[in-house]
Amino acid sequence: MIVIDTGNNIAALAAKMARPKVIAAYPITPQTKVVERIAEFVEKGELDTEYIHVESEHSAMTACIAASATGVRTFTATASHGLLLMHEMLHWAGLSRLPVVMVNVNRSIGPGWNIWSDLNDSLSQRDTGWIQFYASSNQEIFDNVIQAYKIAENEEIFLPAMVSYDGFILSHTSMPLDVPDQSKIDAFLPAFKPGWTLDVEHPITHGNIVSPKPYMDIRYSMEKAMKKAQKIIQEVGEEWGKKFGRPYGLVQEYRCDDADYVFVTMAALAAEAKVAVDNLRDKGEKAGLINLRTVRPFPYSQLKYDNMIVIDRDISPGLGGIIYHEMKKLNYTMYSFIAGIGGVDVSYKDIERMYQLAQDDKEGWYPLEVK
Amino acid sequence: MAIKDLPRDEYLLKGHAACPGCPITVALRIALKALGNKTILVIPACCSSVIQALYPKSGFNVPILNIAFEAAAAGASGVSAALKKLDKTDITPVVWAGDGGSYDIGIQALSGALERGTNFIYICYNNQMYSNTGIQRSGATPYGAWTTTTWTGKKEHQKELGEIVRAHHIPYVATATISYPEDLYAKVLKAKNMKGPRYIEIFAPCPPGWRFDMSKTIEMARLAVETGAWILYEEIDGQFAFTSYSKKILEGRDRKPIEEWLQLQGRFRHLTEDDMKKINSHLDEKWNQYKKS
């Protein structure tokens, strides 16, 4: 069914259709509508879940971890400072190998209070052991949330998964999208089968003192699961394509085959870059685009073009654009642009301009300092 | 009930790594006898998180979720919600946390879980300091006590977490200690048979932390009650009552001089006469309030 709705409402709808048994969440701009909508579903009896109105995001993630360890599917949603407050428990979920699924609405980090889009919140969680998806449309928010459960709960993976999307640009913007019937979602996403549980009949002690070697083994198994996730993400994305007509992989390539320069970006900026690619093509320029759907696992195998123009809406002070630097181990010519920090608007015209600048061998903070 | 009539079931097994004379294992052994096997323990960072024995072994024979320092009550909230959806409400989620994780870093999650009416039992074992990290001051450390972060003695009185918990108007609040095992057992059992948020605080004298001989743990707990430094009470649906020996003091029996308790502990060795006055007047004030209410 085609519906027109905001990113937040769609995230809440996707969560509902995944049938989580426990949801624990705390409101924060620009995620607030997600928690409001879920409360509405629960109070109207449309969603059979225990909704825990926690007193902080730290407790939201803790409650999801504990509920998942007790054997049920869980969901939470946050943004920015809420995600940062969860940081300790994001590691906890990853190391516990619990497939908690959450959405994060990308928003700048204070001070000062800036509620606009910026990817530094989720990108600064990239070492926590979470699979990270980024959406560049409301359709992708929906599709990613459902697929995130199937991937996270795969017995070869058992890692938590986060679906991020830009504050306001997607969270508060209505777009048309296709929402499959609940029966088709149920057929796609089977009931949760936990990897381990707190079971009184078979008591285990989870997370007690562990010596260095077994701890390193745990870390190594996480890394193997994350590598394996590349294959599972691809497979689940293909299955989604067969069932619903929209195939997914680790990245979305657009007009890359004969491209001289390929943009690499993600989230809402990728939607803008797509328009720029079409315009550049109309002008005879051979431009292409790689939209990063996942940042963890990082899709190295999919980034195989020369002259990649990497646009980061994030910054690691003292290093540079985070995605650009993650890609630096690849042996290709690359250009780095830092743009749209703190929600500064980046239009397709700006991205076309970056294309020209890269051709002139220039890069940098757009438009503050490009050389 | 006499001690000999306590259930023979043991959920605290050999091989745990607690110090000799540790009050935690005494308390937990009795508490688990009351709670039984249909219990899930949530344990934040505290001494109890490091005495379970080394992975992959465990000396605790109920399921345990170890969780971050400030997160115990939120963890129990998640367990409790999941148990409800799984139709397993015969299982009791129980937090087992120290005073640092309850009075200080975990108080936000505790208050949130109590306010939400979470179906769980929160047990705080109070040894009046951060013992796991090596004897630092906590919000539960009493006035005058030496710790490694109060070298000349703590300058403030402890806060009353039980009073803060009571302000949440939950079904059951109680205090206990290991020198009155029947009282402790009865309170945990009573809590187990109720629903909603239940809070029990167990006074737990720590030999290395308080600087007393490891053979004196039970005696230290008993003296704390007899001197009125620790009180035993319970509040059921708003009905507050002193229990056991504390009830006798309330009804007229003399409190033993506080010095009898203090002088056995190296942490109070340096106290001056002025300190003693402050401690005594603080204690008198508290007891005058108990007698009025």
The answer to whether the CB atoms of A58 and B71 lie below 8 A apart is: yes
d(CA A66, CA A59): 10
The answer to whether the CB atoms of A58 and B70 lie below 8 A apart is: yes
Q: What is the per-residue pLDDT across A60-112, written as a single tens digit (0 to 9) for each?
A: 999 999 999 999 999 999 999 999 999 999 999 999 999 999 999 999 999 99
Q: What is the per-residue pLDDT across B50-92, written as a single tens digit (0 to 9) for each?
A: 999 999 999 999 999 999 999 999 999 999 999 999 999 999 9
> Look-up: residue for tokens 């070492």?
A127
Q: How confident is the model at residue B133 (pLDDT cuts 50, 70, 90)?
A: very high
Query: Which phi-psi region, left, alpha or beta, contains residue A290 (left: φ > 0; alpha: ψ -120 to 50)?
Result: beta
Number of domains in chain A: 2
For residue B69, what is the nearest residue in chain A, using CA coordinates?
A: A88
Domain-ending residue, one of A244, A264, A283: A244
Query: Which phi-psi region, left, alpha or beta, contains residue B194 (left: φ > 0; alpha: ψ -120 to 50)?
Result: beta
The answer to whether the CB atoms of B108 and A55 lie below 8 A apart is: yes
Cβ-proximal residues to A63 (8 Å cutoff; 6+ apart), any chain: A22, A24, A52, A54, B74, B75, B77, B78, B81
- Do residues A116 and A260 share a domain? no
- Domain with A274 in it: what CATH number? 3.40.50.920
- Residue A64 sits at the vertex; the CA angle it makes with A244 and A177, to the nearest 5 degrees, is 25
Label residues B238-275 b or e (16+ Cβ within 10 Å = b). Answer: eeeebbbbbeebbeeeeeeebeebbebbebbeebeeee
Contact present, A109 and A84 (Cβ < 8 Å): yes
Residue type, A293: R
Q: How confident is the model at residue B243 (pLDDT cuts 50, 70, 90)?
A: very high
Supply the pLDDT for residue B174.
Answer: 98
Q: Where are the domains of chain B?
A: 3-292
d(CA B64, CA A203): 8
> Residue A353: how many CB atoms within 10 A of its CB?
16
Three-state SS string over chain A comes to CEEEEEHHHHHHHHHHHCCCCEEECCCCCCCHHHHHHHHHHHHCCCCCCEEECCCCHHHHHHHHHHHHHHCCCEEEEEEHHHHHHHHHHHHHHHHHCCCCEEEEEECCCCCCCCCCCCCHHHHCCCCCCCEEEECCCHHHHHHHHHHHHHHHCCCCCCCCEEEEEECCCCCCCEEEEECCCHHHHHHHCCCCCCCCCCCCCCCCEECCCCCHHHHHHHHHHHHHHHHHHHHHHHHHHHHHHHHHCCCCCCEEEECCCCCCEEEEECHHHHHHHHHHHHHHHHCCCCEEEEEECEEECCCHHHCCCCCEEEEECCCECCCECHHHHHHCCCCCCEEEEECCHHHCCCCHHHHHHHHHHHHCCCCEECCCEEC
Q: What are the CA-CA distances from residue A351 to residues A284, A285, A320, B33, B184 (Å)?
A: 16, 13, 19, 68, 70
Mean pLDDT calculated for residue range A313-330: 97
Q: For residue A291, what are the β-bridge partners?
A: A252, A265
For residue A105 the two structure tokens come to 């609405």
d(CA B163, CA A308): 63
Q: For residue A133, what are the β-bridge partners?
A: A163, A294
d(CA B120, CA B241): 22
Closest Cα to residue B78, out of B35, B48, B125, B120?
A: B120
Closest Cα to residue A157, out of A222, A102, A103?
A: A222
d(CA A196, CA A214): 18
> Residue B100: how many CB atoms within 10 A of its CB?
30
Mean pLDDT calculated for residue range B172-200: 98
Would the pLDDT of A15 be above 80? Answer: yes
The structural architecture, per CATH, of the domain B3-292 is 3-Layer(aba) Sandwich (3.40)
Nearest to B78 among A66, A203, A210 (CB): A66
* Structural domain range at position A259: 252-370
- Do residues A236 and A203 share a domain? yes
Contact present, A338 and A323 (Cβ < 8 Å): no
Give percent of chain B above pLDDT 90: 97
For residue A72, what is the nearest residue in chain B, using CA coordinates?
A: B82
The answer to whether the CB atoms of B68 and A203 lie below 8 A apart is: no
Distance of CA A356 to the CA centre of its chain: 30
Q: How confident is the model at residue B24 (pLDDT cuts 50, 70, 90)?
A: very high
User: Most A CBs within 10 Å: which of B28, B32, B64, B65, as the mutation test of the A interface?
Assistant: B65
Supply the pLDDT for residue B1.
Answer: 79
Q: How confident is the model at residue B15 (pLDDT cuts 50, 70, 90)?
A: confident
Cβ-proximal residues to A366 (8 Å cutoff; 6+ apart), any chain: A337, A338, A339, A346, A350, A353, A354, A357
For residue A150 the two structure tokens come to 């199937």
Q: How confident is the model at residue B14 (pLDDT cuts 50, 70, 90)?
A: confident
- Domain with A194 in it: what CATH number? 3.40.50.970
Contact present, A288 and A281 (Cβ < 8 Å): no
Least confident stretch, A52-61, A271-280, B50-59, B135-144: B50-59
Domain-ending residue, one of A221, A244, A267: A244
Q: How many angstroms separate the CA of residue B264 from the nearest CA in chain A?
A: 33
Mean pLDDT calculated for residue range B190-198: 98
- Do residues A238 and A277 share a domain? no
Contact present, A252 and A291 (Cβ < 8 Å): yes
Domain-ending residue, one of A244, A263, A287: A244
Contact present, A162 and A99 (Cβ < 8 Å): no
Contact present, A162 and A230 (Cβ < 8 Å): no
Would the pLDDT of A344 be above 90? Answer: yes
- Do residues A159 and A291 share a domain? no
Q: What is the per-residue pLDDT across A113-130, written as a single tens digit (0 to 9) for each?
A: 999 999 999 999 999 999
Chain B 122-161, CB below 8 Å of chain A: which residues?
Answer: none
d(CA B34, CA B23): 17
- Do residues A189 and A326 share a domain? no
Q: What is the per-residue pLDDT across B84-132, written as a single tens digit (0 to 9) for each?
A: 999 999 999 999 999 999 999 999 999 999 999 999 999 999 999 999 9
Nearest to A208 among B58, B75, B77 (CB): B58
Would the pLDDT of B265 be above 90? Answer: yes
From chain A, the residues in CB contact with B38 under 8 A are: 200
CA torsion B13-B18-B19-B24 (nearest 10°) is -90
For residue B112 the two structure tokens come to 């949130």
Q: How many angstroms separate the CA of residue B96 from the nearest CA in chain A?
A: 14
d(CA A244, CA A234): 15
- Do residues A88 and A186 share a domain? yes
d(CA A157, CA B195): 37
Q: How confident is the model at residue B293 (pLDDT cuts 50, 70, 90)?
A: confident
Nearest to A22 among B56, B82, B91 (CB): B82
| Phi–psi pair at B233, nearest 5 degrees | -150, 170
- Do residues A296 and A174 share a domain? no
Output the average pLDDT for chain B. Answer: 97
Supply the pLDDT for residue B292.
Answer: 86
Task: For chain A, say whether B116 makes contact (Cβ under 8 Å).
Answer: yes
Contact present, A7 and A139 (Cβ < 8 Å): no
For residue A176 the two structure tokens come to 């048309």
d(CA B188, CA B90): 16
Q: What is the per-residue pLDDT across A182-234, written as a single tens digit (0 to 9) for each?
A: 999 999 999 999 999 999 999 999 999 999 999 999 999 999 999 999 999 99
